[in-house]
Amino acid sequence: MTALLDISHVSKSFQMGGILSRRRVDAVQDVSFTLEVGKPEIFTIIGESGSGKTTLARMILGLERPSAGEIRFRGEPVTHANRAERLKFMANVQPVFQNPFEAFNPLKRVDRYLESTARRFLKARSSAEVGAAMDGALQKVGLSLAEVRGRFAHELSGGQLQRVAIARALIPNPPLLIADEPVSMVDASLRMSIVNLLRKLRDDLGVSVIYITHDLATAYYISDRIVIMQKGKVVEMGPARAILDRPEHPYSQLLKASVLSADDAGAGKLGAAADLMALSDSLLSAPRSSLAERPDGRLVRVYAAA
Amino acid sequence: MDRRSRGPATTDILEVKNLKAYYLMNYFGISREVRAVDDITMNVRKNEVYGIAGESSSGKTSFIKVLAAAIRPPLRVVGGSATFSFGNQTVDVGSASPEEIEAIRWRHLSYIMQGSMSVLNPVRRIGRIFEDFAMRPLGLTGSAFRQRVIEHLGHLKLGPEVLTAYPHELSGGMRQRVTIGLATVCKPEFIIADEPTTALDVVVQKDVLALIRNLQREMGSSIIFVTHDMSVHANMADRVGIIYAGRLVEEAPTRELFQSPKHPYTAHLVASLPRIGDTTQRPALEGRPPNLAEPPPGCRFHPRCPLAIDICRKEVPPLETVAPDHRTACWRWREVEPLVPVAPVRTAEVIA
Amino acid sequence: MFAVIKDLIRYNAEFAIGLLLSSIIVLLALLSFFSPIDPTRVYSVLPDVPPSADFWFGTNSRGQDLFWQVTFALRNSLTFGLIVAVLSRVISITVGLLSGYLGGWVDRGLMFVNDIFVAVPVFPILVLFYFVLRDKLDSTMLALIMACMGWPFDARLIRSVTLGLKHREFTRHAVFAGMSTRKILLEEHLPYVMPIIFSTALANMIWSIGLEVTLAVLGFTDSNVPTIGTMLYWANKHSALVVGVWWWILIPVVFVVIMFVGLFLLAVSLNEYIDPRSRLRRMGA
């Protein structure tokens, strides 16, 4: 049985600089993981800026070509030669992007995108069919067509806009959703409704989600598996709760130590874990490393003895 | 250092009384009055970090713009005052002349803005940017000025080579530290920080926050720290004020606000924070913040409030003191309970 | 919409004056439909009569009533300007949108052609066309040729706006919503481009009418069709100033100035209104 999404030893490097001084940036180095068909899960990619997580997301969506390795969706590569194949792919893999305010054209009404998705991917013809498809998707995210019809982007809050964006992505009933930092630009009080929604998508609708974030707390809350990336390399990967409860790699520990929590509110523990920072920085330049498997199913990057 | 209990209040450095600032627009066929800041009264004490929490479009940005004396029509102060006391001079930023504002700007009152790149001129070196901002307020020139700047950068763990760099040559964390340095080099008594760490990575954020707090303690300044992220307030602020729809709805010392909130909105904000080690379902707030051009009558939170009763829809609850140093604006504050147990779950810590 | 115009008149002096002047011109142009005299006929009235009660603008040495001449002249000039403006907008929008959105070879090819048209001097080309086409160069032909010369600056402008829009997130969303390129360009991006189109259209009108006047005065157009330029041409031919028929020169010049100033003020004030930042500045002042 072919996997739903298969990422196999994928790398991506960019050339930066002008004609005389060129620099190679290795945005993504040798990343591999697989999502299975029939086992909907929330797979979280955690990383800071420069970790390569957005580049990886773009490659999965077919917006960038990997420099090495392969990405296959249901056995087919994700970069397509012609429009027909691309449309078939887009019917199965849909994105949700970071900025809900920019996701919709400020001069136009938001239901346009829903309508276009319904017409294109569901081949809905009559306005009744289109309306039903739109309303169905909106109900799944807790909104309704009556609320959204005819509205402009500036009339809705960040949380509502992001929900409309998710509804739009759900219209073609895709088995895979790629959510790139979907809540980082949404207000804290509205954030949890979106995160709860992602959980509902997996549990009730059987949609697999690749959730990209830098926020470990929400990752803990909803993920099944996580992969932690640092400067393009996979540092730790495996079952989410196990890794976040007891991180093994120094960088994972550093991330966990940097999370601000509301416990001990007012006591203000802001001391930085300087030793962990130094350690994870030094490991970046270690010459040889590989991923070792642990008994609880996780993979950790270990370094060859100096 | 636990700042939970404060002794008798020291002199206040900022006194805001019934401040009202509206966007008044009456042209081109549109007539609108957006009540961005609607009757706010609060004080900030000396040597205190006061956190302001609120969603976007709650009016908090307009509020701090008024405090920073940085508002322009169509936003106007229509009532009340916001008075700073620096040493022996007092300045009401709502009604001061441009010369008075210029005299206190940067020397006594400075700000750290969100998104450091927009503050730093991309075509000027850092050293020159320091000269632009700080030379006149400090009153130093030449090598004396340079020495002072280098010494200050040292506090921020930045070397003197930063002065000859362009902003894009520095990392995001370094740029934000430069922005903090710019705001603090004149050792102002009052700093306004508007989401200074929102765009930063988690590791860098904690570092920058620690930096801001250490600087604050060293200089004895007061900071108004604005962010919608409650976990930042939990670790930074001495007192926290919650702004909703242009009004202050609750204000309390940090620990008390998190452990016994007395306003349903605060209770929700606190309860919705996810925590590592806990996967119980987090409550989510329904509805959306009201339109400030047509706010709901009575208590502005009532359309979304689980405790709303008849009086909430008709009359505005006053901001009253319900415990020492703890004010709230809710008719049913006695019945507000934390929504999820707040006792910290002690998991085995990995770091020493 | 009318509330907007009312407010614009009240608060924006440039708009009010521009609207007034342009209305005068349009009114006169419309009056030409009620003219009792055929403007191409000569010696239909007493020649060389200064402005008086019978002939408001006087008459010229060819025996034509200047009042009705002016109405026809304004009508023809305005029509001419509109045709050129509309046609060149169509070309510049097409080139700009395609070039900006598609990029690659399409972009490079179109911009290459664009830059050639920018570099080529318009006036000598038009003179060349006159000498080649002679009698066949009537108003419509001239309008077509000028439309083909008047698009390059704006095409580049539209292209840069489109380039910026291509990278905005809603464009990516539109792609994943299954919208075709044509739909994205026409429905998503065009509204952003429209304000530019509008204000450059007015500027384009001023340019084309000015060029037409120049050509006409020099005799490079069909001198029988009454336009501002041909009026001046005939005035020149009959040495009007030397003879003392000063009103023959003055009247067309006054009206062409009124037309240009009116259009210019409209363009400037609409430009300011369309850009939200300058609009807010004026509102708050």
Number of C-beta neighbours around residue B338 at 10 A: 15
pLDDT at A267: 65
Phi, psi at residue A65, to the nearest 5°?
-100, 130
Task: Provide the shortest C-alpha distance from residue B144 to chain C (in Å).
Answer: 41
Query: Would the pLDDT of B106 be above 60?
Result: yes
Residue A68's domain spans which residues?
5-92+174-303
In whole angstroms, give the CA distance from residue A227 to residue A33: 9
Hey, are the CB atoms on C178 and A107 less than 8 Å from each other? no
The per-residue pLDDT for A149 is 85
By the 8 A CB rule, do A148 and A131 touch? no
Q: Is the dihedral of CA A103, A109, A113, A114 positive or negative?
A: positive
* Cα A256–chain centre separation: 19
Neighbours of A93 (CB within 10 A): 24
Q: Which amino acid appears at position A168 of this protein?
A: R
* CA closest to B73 among chain C residues: C284
Residue pairs between chains A and C whose CB atoms are closer than 8 Å: 49
CB C176 within 8 A of CB A93: no
CA neighbor of B62 nearest in space, from B52, B50, B51: B52
The two three-digit tokens of residue B308, written as one number: 């709303």
CATH number, position A216: 3.40.50.300
Rounded to an integer, what distance in angstroms lies between the CA atom of residue B183 and that of residue B188?
A: 8
Task: Give chain B's mean pLDDT.
Answer: 82
Two tokens, residue C129? 């066309």
For residue B194, the model assigns a pLDDT of 87
- Judge whether B14 and B44 are in contact, CB under 8 Å: yes
Q: Is residue A261 part of a domain?
A: yes
DSSP, residue by residue, A158-186: HHHHHHHHHHHHHTT--SEEEEESTTTTS
Interface check B7 vs C, CB under 8 A: no
* Domains of chain B, start order: 12-237 (3.40.50.300), 251-335 (no CATH)
Rounded Cα gap, residues C96 and C156, in angstroms: 6
Residue A223 forms contact with C (CB below 8 Å): no
Q: Which token pair is C150?
A: 């008047």
Q: What integer pLDDT is reported at residue B223 of this predicted model?
A: 92
Per 3-state DSSP, chain B is made up of helix, strand and coil in percentages (nearest 5) of: 35, 25, 40
Which segments of chain C does DSSP mark as H helices, in order? 2-11, 13-31, 66-102, 104-119, 122-133, 139-149, 152-166, 169-176, 181-183, 190-217, 228-237, 240-243, 246-274, 276-284
**ipTM (interface pTM):** 0.81
A49 — alpha (psi -120 to 50), left (phi > 0) or beta?
beta
Q: Quote the CA–CA distance of A300 and A291 in Å, as a whole number.
A: 5
Residue keyed to tokens 């009575």: B298
**What is the model's pLDDT at position A96?**
92
* Lowest-pLDDT range of B117-126, B210-219, C255-264: B117-126
Which helix (H) or strand (E) covers residue B137, if one does? Answer: helix B126-138
Residue B261 tokens, joined? 């909130």
Q: Does B73 contact C4 at a Cβ distance shorter than 8 Å?
A: no
Q: Give the whole-number percent of chain B exceeding pLDDT 70.
A: 91
A168 occurs within a structural domain? no
SS3 C41: coil
DSSP bridge pairs for A28:
A12
The answer to whether C191 contacts A107, with C-beta atoms less than 8 Å apart, is yes
- Token output for A83: 């429009």
Q: CA-to-CA distance for A182 and A184, rounded, in angstroms? A: 6
The 3 state secondary structure assigned to B230-296 is HHHHHHHCCEEEEEECCEEEEEEEHHHHHHCCCCHHHHHHHHCCCECCECCCCCCCCCCCCCCCCCC
3 state DSSP class of A149: coil
Nearest to C4 among B25, B28, B74 (CB): B28
Q: CA-based diameter of chain C, in Å? A: 74
Q: DSSP 3-state assignment of A51?
A: coil
Alpha-helical regions (H) of A158-263: 158-170, 188-205, 216-222, 240-245, 250-258
List of chain A residues whose C-beta atoms are within 8 Å of the C-beta of residue C187: 108, 112
Question: How far is the CA of A289 from the CAs of A67, A236, A286, A292, B20, in angstroms?
Answer: 21, 12, 7, 9, 61
The residue among C169, C179, C184, C192 with the most chain A CBs within 10 A of its CB, best to mutate, is C169
Question: How confident is the model at residue C134, as a pLDDT?
Answer: 78
Specify if A38 maps to a domain.
yes
State the smallest CA–CA distance between residue A85 and chain B in angstroms. Answer: 37
Residue C118 and residue C150 in contact, taking contact as beta carbons nearer than 8 Å: no
Tokens encoding C130: 């006159």
Tell me which residue in B201, B285, B345 faces A189 most closely, judged by beta carbons: B285
Question: Tens digit of pLDDT for each residue in A26-51?
Answer: 888 889 998 888 889 999 999 887 78
Instruction: Say which residue, B45 or A107, is predicted with more confidence.
Output: B45
From chain A residues 103-132, the ones with a CB under 8 A of any chain C CB are 103-105, 107-108, 112-114, 116-117, 119-121
What's the CA gap between B40 and B63, in Å, rounded?
Answer: 9
Q: Is A92 exposed, middle or buried (0-12, 13-18, 19+ CB in 10 A)?
A: middle
Which range of residues forms the domain containing residue C88?
2-284
pLDDT value at position B116? 65
- pLDDT of A305 reads 59
Q: Which chains touch B (3 or more CB pairs under 8 A)?
A: A, C
Q: How big, in percent rounded to 5, are the helix, strand and coil portions of chain A?
A: 35, 25, 35
Total domains in the fold of chain A: 1
Q: Are strands B190-194 and B75-86 parallel, antiparallel or unpaired?
A: unpaired
Task: Outline where DSSP puts E strands in B46-74.
Answer: 49-53
Sheet holding B326-328, edge to edge: B109-112, B190-194, B222-226, B49-53, B239-244, B247-253, B326-328, B320-323
Residue of B nearest to C283 (CA): B27
Are the CB atoms for B68 and B109 separated by under 8 Å? yes
Q: Residue A271: what pLDDT?
A: 67
Could you give the 3-state DSSP secondary structure of residue A93?
Answer: strand
On whether the CB atoms of residues B176 and B200 are closer than 8 A, the answer is yes
Instruction: Pick the range with the lowest mean pLDDT from B114-118, B240-244, C52-56, C168-172.
Output: B114-118
Interface of C with A (CB under 8 A): 168-170, 172-174, 176-179, 183, 187-188, 191-192
- Domains in chain C, number: 1
Cβ distance of A262 and B275 shorter than 8 Å = yes
Task: Tally the residues of chain A.
Answer: 306
Q: Does residue A181 carry a pLDDT above 70? A: yes
Distances (CA, A) of C31 to C64, C137, C224, C229: 16, 27, 20, 19
Evaluate whether A223 touches A43 at the Cβ level (below 8 Å). yes
Token output for C183: 């739909």
Q: What integer pLDDT is reported at residue C213 of this predicted model? A: 86
**Alpha-carbon span B184 to B133, nearest angstrom:** 11
Q: What is the pLDDT of residues A77-97, one digit of tens each?
A: 888 878 888 888 888 999 998
Contact B272 A271 (CB under 8 A): no
Higher pLDDT, B203 or C110: C110
- Listed range (A127-141, B66-80, C42-56) with the worst mean pLDDT: C42-56
Cβ contacts (< 8 Å) between B25 and chain C: which residues? Answer: 283
Count of CA atoms in the C-beta half-sphere (13 A) of A59: 27
B192 — pLDDT class (breaks 50, 70, 90): very high
Task: Give one word for B157, left, alpha or beta, with left for phi > 0 and alpha for psi -120 to 50.
Answer: left
pLDDT band for position A1 (50/70/90)?
A: low
Both tokens of residue B119? Answer: 């503050």
Q: Whole-angstrom Cα distance, residue C185 to residue C189?
A: 5
Asked if the peptide bond before residue B74 counts as cis, ω within 30 degrees of 0, the response is: yes
- Does residue A54 sit within a domain? yes
User: What does the pLDDT read at residue A210?
Assistant: 94
What's the pLDDT band for B253 if we cut at 50, 70, 90? very high
Question: Does residue A230 belong to the interface with chain B, where contact is any CB pair within 8 Å?
Answer: no
CATH of the domain at C189: 1.10.3720.10
Computed over its alpha carbons, how large is the radius of gyration of chain C?
22
What is the reported pLDDT for A17? 67
Nearest CA-CA distance, residue C174 and chain A, Å: 7
**Distances from the Cα of A224 to the Cα of A210, A254, B348, C13, C183, angstroms:** 10, 21, 22, 65, 39
Alpha-carbon distance of A176 to A192, in angstroms, equals: 21
Distance of alpha carbon B293 from alpha carbon B36, whole angstroms: 8
Q: pLDDT category, B339, cuts 50, 70, 90? A: confident
